[in-house]
Structure 1
Amino acid sequence: MEPAAGVSAQKMAESWSFLDNFEPNFTPLVVIELAKGTKKETIEWFTKRIVDKKANGGAQLLVKPLVMENGDENIYLVGASHLRLLLGAETVGLVKECNDNSMRTFTYSSRKTFKYFADDNHNFLTMAECQYIIKHELENLRAKDEKMIPGYPQAKLYPGKSIVRRLLTSGILVQIFPLHDREELKKLRHSWYGRVKVGYQPLDEIRCYFGETIALYFGFLEYFTFALIPMAVIGIPYYVFAWEDYDKYVMFATFNLLWSTVILEVWKRICAIMTYRWGTLLMKRQFEEPRPGFHGVLGINPVTGREEPVYSSIKRQMRIYLVSLPFVCLCLYFSLYVMMIYFDLEQWALDYHEENESNFSSLMLFVPSIIYAVVIEIMNRIYRYAAEFLTSWENHRLESSYQNHLVLKVLVFNFLNCFASLFYIAFVLFDMKLLRQSLATLLITSQILNQFAESLLPYWLQKRHKKRIKKRMCSLKTDTDLSLVEQINLEKEMGTYFGTFDDYLELFLQFGYVSLFSCVYPLAAVFAVLNNITEIYSDALKMCRVYKRPFAEPTANIGVWQLAFETMSVISVVTNCILIGMSPQVNALFPDSKMDLILTVALVEKFCHTWIKPWFDSCIVTINSITALDFIITSRCAHIPLTATCV
């Protein structure tokens, strides 16, 4: 990648020359684990490329082997000098705050103009940013004239091929992960979940330690939880005083459709405020490299002119439409078949209760829904693995394209699998009592299963593994710092955090349960709030104690999930409008004309998206801090001027 604007190539080359002499002592930031038995010539070649000068095609980083008692040298620690990190910050295009409070792309030549910069201030860059820079430099180690990995003739190379990706796909490089900073992690744990408190999460500290992607997820989780509180506050008295009146939901459904439209618009602004302060809102996107799993015949990229694998888009489309699409349709059909079995069980439970009229038979009414909820979770997880395999087999060139196709497959199946039965009960059976029972059971059961599978079980397994590591480390006799060796051996065996996909998916389904049919079961928002409060703490626990530290990934928003939530919002508006039109109160106004009823529902839906949403958008942009809404937003980001963040 070319140096950022503001620094000439000559000045950049002069800056690199300052890095010729490394200090042997450095702070380890990234851990590289090679396969045991890796050939010596391969290790020497790879480490030489890491420490070599940029002019020679190296990364110009620092490497130190971690030698164990048995003589293994398959673990290497990677770091960088302060100057190297500053030059790397310019290369990746990090945006920092200047002394005049503006946000600009960092350049080494104008470093003195940036706030908090000093030659001896090694905290100018966050640790997450430093690890991101090192990851970027390692991934951009390119083959020059090598035809293969030295020592491994089967691992082919060609000019421009990423060396790290070839090592990973060949099994020579086992893993690469950022190292935890125990002192900083201890402080973060204390302020994040170490004590029970009522207040905001330390999103800035989370961002500094884990990066913007993780911080935005927790910011959205926090915001969504607060947004659910009005629904919960209204839902409790509504549920208490209308327990047996299943059909009296018009007012709550009206509030529901307005709520689902408004909260996503508010989130857009809060997201823009945070990412502007973090610098990622203005950060330029880099040219996206091919994903590691992409394969094809070697050819020339017409855009970059570099030699890389080329795969026919026609073949990819054939795989998508002739294999993946029929498979997804087959899974959807199977999901509907399971749903009909569930309704047969419901009918059996109802008949059993009518025959016996006992406490046991009353409990049996909930058994089919519980079984169905468990089956839904199992089917969702099995389908997830199948969707990942199919999307990988489709051989998408870019990671963004891979993620979009994967999200589409997973969301379509999860939506039908989780909500088809509720739509069938509401609009085919017209049974509001059964709808309330099914919604309550599905929501609560899925939350319990997710908490167990995502947090409690991994934490328990990690605790057992930690005890085994400590016993093994106590028996070792080595001159290496025991605490560092113990830390690395513990972290390299931890589970890998594969991103926020599953976390957003859980919130997406929860948003669907609340926004679609909570007018029939008003306590849905209450259980969602309670679940999200525990989710904040359990997710924080697993990020700090269960999984390896993930690499930071700069991002300006929640990506494709924003579109997914907005799509669910549109569906919820239409659903609530239909429910309003089906209610006895509205039908009493139109006793003889179904056409008037249909037109009324259509007009309500049109009014929400044609008038309410644009009106709210204009209010968000034009009204300043005199409103309660701006007071809430600015209390979260108090030191950012509103005029500077209305992007």
Structure 2
Amino acid sequence: MFVKIHMPWDMLCTYAEVLHIKVPIQPNDLSSRPSPWNFLSCITKKFYPDEELISKETEFFTAPFEKDRLEYFYIKDQDMFFTPSMRSRMAFYILSRAPYEIRGKTKKFGITKLLDGGVYKAAYPLHDCRFNVPSKEEGCPNERYLLYQEWAHPKSFYKMQPLDLIRKYYGEKIGIYFAWLGFYTIMLTLAAVVGLGCFIYGYKTQETSTWSKEVCDPDIGGQIVMCPQCDKDCKYWRLNSTCEASKKLCIFDNFGTLVFAVFMSIWVTLFLEFWKRYQAELEYEWDTVEFLEQEEPSRPEYEAKFSNPEKVPYTECGRCMRVSIGIGTVLFWILLILASIVAITVYRLAAFFAFSTRLRNEELEGLEPLKEYVTPQMATSVTASLISFVVIMILNILYERVAIWITDFELPRTKTDYENSLTLKMFLFQFVNYYSSCFYIAFAKGKAVGFPGQPVYLLGKYRNEECDPGGCLIELTTQLSIIMGGKAIWNNIQENVLFRYCKSMPSNSGLPRWEQDYQLQPISKLGLFYEYLEMVIQFGFVTLFVASFPLAPVLALVNNLFEIRVDAWKITTQFRRMVPEKAQHIGAWQPILQGVAILAVATNAMIIAFTSDMIPRLVYYWSFSVYPYGDSDNHTMAGYINSSLSIFNISDFPEQSRPLSSSYNMATCRYRDFRYPPGHYRQYEYNVRYWHVIAAKMAFIIVVEHVVYFTKFILSYVIPDVPYTVKEQIKREKYLTQVILHETNLKLVTKLLLDTEDTQVCLSAFFDHHLFLLTTKY
């Protein structure tokens, strides 16, 4: 049985006033400034929806609806005055608060509770027609069909989004998400072009890089014997065995990466500042400027909990207890993530030992073709990254239910409070879950390993793993590419499964509209929360670690181009129509994005300083390298590899870490560090070069952070959050509201006074009093 709900005109007017819905009062009479790019309209119009199908919305000045003043609003057709999203929002507001059982002083109400109890199976607004066939009913707007043709259809992938129609059909909350996603994707285009250029530069120079050439040179790298990187079973190895890995490292670890990291720090500031301006324009156009300043209604769950007037909501002590339980649960799960990171680290140490004893065993048969391309570090990094990705996805599934349960237990009053609380919990968990392994590789791995004669052990048993002679940057790049790529593939698999399921549904063209919609997928209670979360996590990968992976913006751009159309296709064709909601901005995600942007400056500066090999190279180039003829004005990178490796006497190996066998006839081996050689009176202590490098790294971080932060501050100050034209339109709208609506009181009073017996005296007294009020005010 289907029950269809209809709201008559009188009820629409009543609840439009209750919900402070803003409606047109007159067309916008402020002339818009012509765009300087109008001469390109013949080209750009092909990238916009067909104007014959989706016409441009007329701009109006609006004011909060008042039922007693209908004559002052711009009403041409009562059936079209309130948009479909407005009518659906008012209907759901009534249904979510309608009582259905009253026993004494207790009252049960709300369609949500009936749905949870199974009394009703579903409650949803109807689509206006089929998505692929326009309705033949007279007066049907066919907006769903237009959205599919000009937005969700694959053939329209290159077109801009019809945001006004999206907002009109689905509401402001859906519209602001797609507006943000589209703006983010457009801004990614610039970052992707620069990142791709940086990658091409590194790819072209990998063969000519002095550093990689010395590693691969049989007379240089082939003559350098490196110390074992694990105890006993690990063997000595020649440096040129990492030739291919060194070339790949040069693709990402070059001076172009430094420029790109600084560029991305500026880009993220421009992205956030221009988004604020664009968001301000949408706030005005969609009448959400003062939405949060009005009293937001309580959630039905909150009202149901405290519906008894004699029952006082929980005290501050009770609220503190609920929040404390929630914080404690979140911290417990974060500690669980850290424990999994420790477990993966232990696996890395054990795996590195296993790969070292096999891949560098020259007598092992069957692996000879792999030795040139696969190093123990690379094999360990790839397998550990895959395991880390699996652990991440499992913990995400488990924590999702826990976070929702905690937020429900806290019982926030409004839906905005509920979403903000859940957003903070989920992001904190996802931040640690997705980024902790990257932070470990970038800032922990290879930083506390000691030297061959005195290695550092984890848990007193496992010897800390070291980086390749070129650093851990290539491992960080591998980790990022696997997590970003794996996450995108996993999401596409989910989308594909949904697609196959929906395609297998039987044809329902002969069913009524309400039965066709019932067969569609139900909307999650959290709406677009997971879509936002996915994009914000991606934003973190693009900004936090971009110094190690300049292709991250390219991957994000390609993913988002599909994401927009897949989301549009799902919401238009496969899901029931969402209950429209108002939204002024993207909510708690805005300060999260700003926090990630600030953190990105520090992380990228530290990656360049501590993870890559760029600062040691610069120190060598400017301080320790000259041509053999002694010309101090000419510098070269020749000899850098030899100077960056310290010498260790193999007779100084302690018994617990001494290699069991050696295939090389030598007395010393080399390792990555800046220490005095054996025989020096301060042997194996840090040398002067080490302190030069440390000082250069700290100076680099301080200078880069201050310069970038200062630039961000200047850009934030120069670029206003609200455009000047929008400010003028807001002022004009407020003035019209006062003139058209509030001056009505003066007319009513004047009419009342004119109907009295002593008209002249009353008018004189009224105008004298009115003049007195003006004098007092000014």
Residues in 1 aligned to 2:478 and 2:269: alpha-carbon distance in whole angstroms: 26
Aligned residue among 243, 262, 273 for 2:281: 273
Change (3 A) 1:409 1:346: farther
Does residue 244 of structure 2 align to residue 317 of structure 1? no
2:4 counterpart SS class: strand
Q: Which amino acid aligns with 2:585?
A: N
Does residue 714 of structure 2 align to residue 615 of structure 1? yes
Change (3 A) 1:485 1:204: closer
Q: Which amino acid aligns with 1:217?
A: Y
Residues in 1 aligned to 2:583 and 2:354: alpha-carbon distance in whole angstroms: 50
Q: Which amino acid aligns with 1:337?
A: V
**TM-score (normalised: structure 1):** 0.74
Does residue 82 of structure 2 align to residue 125 of structure 1? yes
The structural deviation recorded for 1:342 is 5.7
Does residue 283 of structure 2 align to residue 328 of structure 1? no
Change (3 A) 1:542 1:100: closer
Match of 1:550 in 2: 578
Q: Which amino acid aligns with 2:711?
A: I
1:61-80 paired onto structure 2 within 5 Å: 73=1, 75-80=2-7
Match of 1:188 in 2: 147
Match of 1:213 in 2: 173
Change (3 A) 1:571 1:271: same
Q: Which amino acid aligns with 2:729?
A: A
Aligned residue among 204, 228, 246 for 2:164: 204
Match of 1:4 in 2: none
Does residue 407 of structure 2 align to residue 391 of structure 1? yes
- Quick check: 1:294–1:396 contact (8 Å CA) kept in 2? no
Does residue 483 of structure 2 align to residue 442 of structure 1? yes
Between 575-584 and 287-296, report the one with greater CA deviation.
287-296
Residues in 2 aligned to 1:642 and 1:514: alpha-carbon distance in whole angstroms: 33
Match of 1:524 in 2: 552
Residues in 1 aligned to 2:192 and 2:297: alpha-carbon distance in whole angstroms: 43
Residues in 2 aligned to 1:349 and 1:460: alpha-carbon distance in whole angstroms: 43
- Quick check: 1:252–1:519 contact (8 Å CA) kept in 2? yes
The structural deviation recorded for 1:527 is 0.8
- Quick check: 1:295–1:309 contact (8 Å CA) kept in 2? no
Aligned residue among 79, 99, 118 for 2:26: 99
Q: Which amino acid aligns with 2:342?
A: Y
- Quick check: 1:335–1:417 contact (8 Å CA) kept in 2? no
- Quick check: 2:24–2:63 contact (8 Å CA) kept in 1? yes
The structural deviation recorded for 1:341 is 5.2
Change (3 A) 1:359 1:497: farther
Match of 1:254 in 2: 262
Match of 2:501 in 1: 461
Residues in 2 aligned to 1:396 and 1:624: alpha-carbon distance in whole angstroms: 34
Residues in 1 aligned to 2:97 and 2:307: alpha-carbon distance in whole angstroms: 19
Does residue 448 of structure 2 align to residue 419 of structure 1? no
Does residue 425 of structure 2 align to residue 409 of structure 1? yes
Residues in 1 aligned to 2:120 and 2:353: alpha-carbon distance in whole angstroms: 56
Match of 2:67 in 1: 108
Change (3 A) 1:96 1:296: closer
The structural deviation recorded for 1:549 is 1.2
Deviations 1:66-102 (A, max 9, x none): xxxxxxx4x2110112343233322211123432523
Aligned residue among 330, 334, 337 for 2:342: 337
Change (3 A) 1:507 1:338: farther
Residues in 1 aligned to 2:21 and 2:66: alpha-carbon distance in whole angstroms: 9
Match of 2:290 in 1: 282
The structural deviation recorded for 1:418 is 0.8
Match of 1:644 in 2: 729
Does residue 152 of structure 2 align to residue 147 of structure 1? no
* Matched length: 528
Aligned residue among 541, 549, 553 for 1:513: 541
1:122 counterpart SS class: helix
The structural deviation recorded for 1:554 is 0.6
Residues in 2 aligned to 1:534 and 1:138: alpha-carbon distance in whole angstroms: 36
Q: Percent identity?
A: 26
Match of 2:650 in 1: none
Match of 1:29 in 2: none
Match of 1:66 in 2: none
1:579-594 paired onto structure 2 within 5 Å: 579-582=607-610, 584-587=613-616, 588=618, 592-593=691-692, 594=694
Residues in 1 aligned to 2:187 and 2:283: alpha-carbon distance in whole angstroms: 20
- Quick check: 1:353–1:364 contact (8 Å CA) kept in 2? no
Change (3 A) 1:446 1:357: farther
Residues in 2 aligned to 1:534 and 1:235: alpha-carbon distance in whole angstroms: 20
1:28-47 paired onto structure 2 within 5 Å: none
Does residue 395 of structure 2 align to residue 379 of structure 1? yes
Deviations 1:40-79 (A, max 9, x none): xxxxxxxxxxxxxxxxxxxxxxxxxxxxxxxxx4x21101
Change (3 A) 1:86 1:318: closer
Match of 1:601 in 2: 701
The structural deviation recorded for 1:540 is 0.7
- Quick check: 2:106–2:308 contact (8 Å CA) kept in 1? no
Residues in 2 aligned to 1:572 and 1:549: alpha-carbon distance in whole angstroms: 38
The structural deviation recorded for 1:348 is 6.2
Change (3 A) 1:580 1:550: same
Q: Which amino acid aligns with 1:158?
A: T
**TM-score (normalised: structure 2):** 0.62
Deviations 1:161-200 (A, max 9, x none): 6443553454434432111111321111101022234231
Unmatched 5+ stretches in structure 1: 1-72, 149-155, 301-306, 475-481, 626-639
Between 321-330 and 425-434, report the one with greater CA deviation.
321-330
Residues in 1 aligned to 2:306 and 2:18: alpha-carbon distance in whole angstroms: 31
Deviations 1:256-311 (A, max 9, x none): 222222211211111111121010123343343145178767754xxxxxx56733
Aligned residue among 226, 231, 234 for 2:191: 231
The structural deviation recorded for 1:373 is 2.0
- Quick check: 2:281–2:726 contact (8 Å CA) kept in 1? no
Residues in 2 aligned to 1:510 and 1:157: alpha-carbon distance in whole angstroms: 50
1:255 counterpart SS class: helix
Deviations 1:385-443 (A, max 9, x none): 22212332344444333333322221112111111111111112250111111111111
Residues in 2 aligned to 1:382 and 1:374: alpha-carbon distance in whole angstroms: 13
Residues in 2 aligned to 1:166 and 1:157: alpha-carbon distance in whole angstroms: 18
- Quick check: 1:296–1:309 contact (8 Å CA) kept in 2? no
- Quick check: 2:400–2:426 contact (8 Å CA) kept in 1? yes
Match of 1:501 in 2: 529
Q: Which amino acid aligns with 2:483?
A: L
- Quick check: 1:103–1:279 contact (8 Å CA) kept in 2? yes
Match of 1:43 in 2: none
Change (3 A) 1:528 1:166: closer
Residues in 1 aligned to 2:267 and 2:331: alpha-carbon distance in whole angstroms: 37
Q: Which amino acid aligns with 1:185?
A: R
1:621 counterpart SS class: coil
Match of 1:175 in 2: 122
Residues in 2 aligned to 1:427 and 1:139: alpha-carbon distance in whole angstroms: 51
Residues in 2 aligned to 1:623 and 1:297: alpha-carbon distance in whole angstroms: 40
Deviations 1:285-344 (A, max 9, x none): 3343145178767754xxxxxx56733443443344355245334433334235425634
2:289 counterpart SS class: coil
Match of 1:25 in 2: none
2:519 counterpart SS class: helix
1:177 counterpart SS class: coil
Match of 2:11 in 1: 84
> If you compute each CA radius of gyration, which structure gives the higher value, 1 or 2?
2
Deviations 1:430-470 (A, max 9, x none): 501111111111111111101222x2222322333x31x74
The structural deviation recorded for 1:585 is 4.6
Residues in 1 aligned to 2:167 and 2:347: alpha-carbon distance in whole angstroms: 44
Residues in 1 aligned to 2:587 and 2:557: alpha-carbon distance in whole angstroms: 24
2:122 counterpart SS class: strand
Match of 1:68 in 2: none
The structural deviation recorded for 1:509 is 1.0
